[in-house]
Structure 1
Amino acid sequence: MFRVLLPIFIIIPLIEVILFILAGQYIGIPATIACIFFTGILGAYLAKKEGTETLQRAKRQLESGQMPGDAVLDGACILVGGALLLTPGFLTDFLGFSLLFPPLRKPVKFWLKAKIFQKMKSGQFYFIKRR
Structure 2
Amino acid sequence: MLLRLFLVFTLVPIVEIWLLIQVGRVIGPLPTLATLLIISLVGAWLARSQGFRAIVAIRDELAMGRLPAAHFLDGALILAGGILLLTPGFFTDLAGLFFLIPFTRACLKGWLRTWLEQRLRQGNYVIHCR
TM-score by length of 1: 0.88
CA contact (8 A) 1:119 1:125 kept: no
Distance 1:91 1:125, change over 3 A: farther
CA contact (8 A) 1:120 1:126 kept: no
How far 1:3 sits from its partner (Å)?
Answer: 1.4
Q: Match for 1:98: what amino acid? A: F
CA contact (8 A) 1:77 1:99 kept: yes
Q: Give the secondary structure class of the aligned counterpart of 1:65.
A: coil
| Aligned residue in 1 for 2:25 | 25
Distance 1:30 1:127, change over 3 A: farther
Computed over aligned residues only, the root mean square deviation of the Cα atoms, in angstroms, reads 1.8
- Asked if 1:96 corresponds to 2:96, the answer is yes
How far 1:113 sits from its partner (Å)?
Answer: 2.6
How far 1:125 sits from its partner (Å)?
Answer: 7.0
Q: What CA distance in whole angstroms lies between the structure 1 residues aligned with 2:45 and 2:22?
A: 27
Deviates more, 1:87-96 or 1:104-113: 104-113
Q: Give the secondary structure class of the aligned counterpart of 1:104.
A: helix
Q: Give the secondary structure class of the aligned counterpart of 2:53.
A: helix
- Asked if 1:75 corresponds to 2:80, the answer is no
User: How many residues are paired up?
Assistant: 129
How far 1:46 sits from its partner (Å)?
Answer: 0.4
Q: How does 1:6-85 map to 2 (within 5 A)?
A: 6-85=6-85
How far 1:108 sits from its partner (Å)?
Answer: 1.8
Q: Percent identity?
A: 36
Distance 1:82 1:125, change over 3 A: farther
Unaligned runs of 5+ in 2: none
Deviates more, 1:108-117 or 1:25-34: 108-117
Q: What CA distance in whole angstroms lies between the structure 2 residues aligned with 1:62 and 1:127?
A: 25
TM-score by length of 2: 0.89
